[in-house]
Amino acid sequence: MGGTTLVESDGPVPVLLLAPQAAPAPPAPPEPPAARGRLGVALAGLLLALFLAALDQTVVATALPAIAGDLHGAGRAAWIITAYLLGSAVAVPVHGRLGEIAGRKGVFAFALVLLVAGSALAARAQTMDQLLAFRTLQGIGGGGVLAAVHAIIADLTPARERRRRTGAAAAVLALASLAGPPLGGLLTDHASWRWCFHLNVPLGLIALLAVTSGLRLPRPARRARFDTLGALLLVAFSVSAVLLADRAGTAPAWHARVVLGLAAATLGTALLFIVVEHLAADPLVPPRLLRDRTFLVCAALGAGTGAALFGAVGCLPTFLQTADGAGAVRAGLLLLPLTAGAVLGSLLSGRFARRTRHCRLYAAAGCAAAAAGAYALSRLGTGTTWPAYALATAALGAGTGLALPALARAVRNAVPAADLAAAGSAGTYLRQLGGALAVASLGALLAHRLAGGPDRGGYARAYADAAPRTFLYLVPVLVLGLLLAFLLKEKPPVSQNLAEAPVIPSARTAPPEEEPPFVPGIPVTGVVQHHDGTTVPRAALTLIDSSGRQIGRGATGEDGRYALSTPGTGSYVLIAAAGGHQPQAVTVTVGERPVELDVVLGGAGRLAGTVLTADGSPVRDALVTLTNVHGEVVASTRTGRDGGYDITELVAGEYTLAGSAPVFRPAALPVTVQSCRETRQDIELAGGAVLRGVVRAGGGRLVEDARVTLLDAAGNVVDTATTGPDGAFRFVDLSAGEYTVIAAGYPPVATVLQVAGGGRTERDLQLGHAD
């Protein structure tokens, strides 16, 4: 699933909001001063949109009783949260992949428009059905915003500033997590629940204007096809699964036709999705992830902890207002221990899991704490004291906060760098879906318990008795998560076959728990080798960023190994070249761990042949020259006694081969040299014959200034010469054949003669004028 990766931060990562982040982007070039102001406006708009999308997950929690009363839908109040979670769950992977293909800015703008439109419509809803439809639309937009904002920030941010800006995004998410329930209660008590939606419209339009006017992004490099069938099956599976969770708890029996039909639809779409992903050219979920045990365990744990957290957020505010008589504002404040515990637990887990690598320990401890908190909440009553309630909710929130970042770290350590984005997006989807399933099923169970229709006076007592018991259903889910946590393997990251250069202790031989030593920047190491595995010493390596700037260079040692340093996370291009080898350019994706990347160079080509005359005789000591497409001399050599030449260590490609020798006419011809094989090309040299002689008059006197003309067999003039004081003339570089020589100055005399190729022919001419 494109567009997201696992959250990796030392700062607060509010797991309640489960926001995706983009895969590491190429380090951006320094921003010119004139663009920094525009960029600052765009970043502010992005953070505002992120705040709104995250806020909408929880802001309505304290408004549910008021909404249910106004729209006469008490039995479906939980669906107000479920609809948003379901829409955003599906939107995260779909919008993320669309952003990679079509461009993040356009996809972000579309998602924000959906969020604003859904909010405006939800604020005017007159029935519960209308509100649920508009909340789904709002959720689709909110999920798209969550997927796009972090990706855009990563694309815009230079490596040196990325931690600061992603920290700002994490702080915004934490603020939304903490402020959502109290703000919803404040708006409900002092204005109307509709203001929970009205608030998004002006703020969303401001964010849209800031981002569209100030954001400049490059064209997307990805040219993949969108997995349309996979996306449709994902939507079908998600909807059928949530409907199954809603109906299963209220059906008269488990064999009810509706329940069986939904179960079959859920199972069938899941199986079809897996099949389609194996066949798709660019699947939303790479099939290899579905075979990775660590990913599957973490996905199941993430769905379970997400279910516990969102289930509590969806049920507790209504319980406090209905059974305990709290107002909406007080109910929102009483929910602070839950959200604050989640933020604090996430902060601690994010810091210590990264340092100690004990992901299994934090995941297990988180599930245990959350299970204890859920059990304590099942014992709630109208007489429960504030400290007891706060302790139970804080335990549930802190437990989920401890578990989720550890799961993200475990997946990051287990999957290759190329799959981090898909793994993160899939994890976000499953956690959101788990929350939707929990809120739907718990709400349905509670509505079923209250279906007896108690009178107004007894409704509060019935609700106080029934609501806490629903939390018991979360306990076995979390206990199962505790058991699954022990299946996680503690291992270092496997980012593209991790290993170290000779100057850095190799991770292949180091103990699994040992941290690699510090090196400046993030190292990229590996071996330059041939196809047969033999190494290439003294190969030149150049590392460039996305703008083409050189950020590192070096050479392999005698063992073929290299080590280069990068300024930070991102995508780079590594260029390797060596004499007699085909140069190679590869993309390197750098995360927070060292990367090893082996480079295979095409083997050297060889060019050989013989320089011959027209009659097949070898030409010894001929000069053979090879030039490339730019006219530069690549190699030159001389033929041996047999006329043969041999040029080795050539890069595959197009060349011009030239041959020359004394008394021969030079020859040139194109030649294609192939990698790892010998290419043979003979050179035929034409001409090379010499015709010389003297012009004499009667009595043998030498004639000066006589004009001698040479004609070929067709009568064409080949050359002319004028004799000197010695009466001599000379024609060189002639092809073998029949010629006519005409001497003029006295009455002309024409003589027919035969010239042998490659030799010397002498013929004196006698003019026809007598002394």
Q: What digits encode the pLDDT tens for the residues 363-399? A: 888 889 888 988 888 887 767 778 888 888 888 888 8
Specify which residues 618 forms β-bridges with.
612
Residue 296 CB burial class (10 angstroms; 0-12, 13-18, ≥19):
middle
Q: How confident is the model at residue 516 (pLDDT cuts 50, 70, 90)?
A: very low
CATH of 522-600, one of 1.20.120.80, 3.30.360.10, 2.30.29.30, 2.60.40.10: 2.60.40.10
Which pLDDT does position 14 carry in this prediction? Answer: 43
Output the CA angle 225-142-50, nearest 5 degrees. Answer: 105
Segment 304-330 mean pLDDT:
79
Q: Is the pLDDT of residue 702 over 80?
A: yes
Yes or no: say if 395 and 376 are a contact pair by the CB < 8 Å rule. Answer: yes
- Delimit the domains of the chain by residue range: 33-227+280-485, 522-600, 605-685, 689-766
Rounded CA-CA distance 169/149 in Å is 9
Which pLDDT does position 453 carry in this prediction? Answer: 52
Per the prediction, the chain carries an average pLDDT of 77
Specify which residues 577 forms β-bridges with.
540
Query: In this predicted structure, which of 46-50, 184-188, 744-748 has the lowest mean pLDDT?
Result: 744-748
Rounded CA-CA distance 154/599 in Å is 27
More reliable by pLDDT, 373 or 520: 373
Yes or no: say if 306 and 432 are a contact pair by the CB < 8 Å rule. Answer: yes
Nearest alpha carbon to residue 531 among 601, 429, 627, 434: 601
Query: In this predicted structure, which of 216-230, 554-568, 587-601, 708-722 has the lowest mean pLDDT?
Result: 216-230
What CATH code would you report for 605-685? Answer: 2.60.40.10
CATH fold of 33-227+280-485 reads Growth Hormone; Chain: A; (1.20.1250)
Rounded CA-CA distance 465/459 in Å is 10
Which pLDDT does position 459 carry in this prediction? Answer: 60
Segment 675-703 mean pLDDT:
81
CATH of 689-766, one of 2.40.110.10, 1.10.3720.10, 2.40.50.100, 2.60.40.1120: 2.60.40.1120
Which pLDDT does position 30 carry in this prediction? Answer: 46
Q: Is the pLDDT of residue 505 over 60?
A: no
Q: Is the pLDDT of residue 327 over 80?
A: no
Contacts (Cβ under 8 Å, ≥6 apart) of 8: 21, 350, 354, 408, 409, 412, 592
Q: DSSP letter for 648, please.
A: E
Query: In this predicted structure, which of 409-418, 432-441, 537-546, 670-679 has the lowest mean pLDDT?
Result: 409-418
Q: Is the pLDDT of residue 597 over 80?
A: yes
Rounded CA-CA distance 487/698 in Å is 116
Rounded CA-CA distance 172/181 in Å is 15
Query: In this predicted structure, which of 8-22, 84-98, 313-327, 743-757 has the lowest mean pLDDT?
Result: 8-22
Domains 33-227+280-485 and 689-766 share a fold: no
Ramachandran angles phi, psi of 268, nearest 5°: -65, -45
For 460-482, what is each residue's pLDDT tens digit? 666 667 777 778 888 888 888 88
For 42-78, what is each residue's pLDDT tens digit? 788 888 888 888 888 888 888 888 888 888 777 778 8
Segment 412-425 mean pLDDT:
72
At 233, which amino acid appears?
A: L
More reliable by pLDDT, 239 or 99: 239
At 17, which amino acid appears?
A: L
Rounded CA-CA distance 601/597 in Å is 13
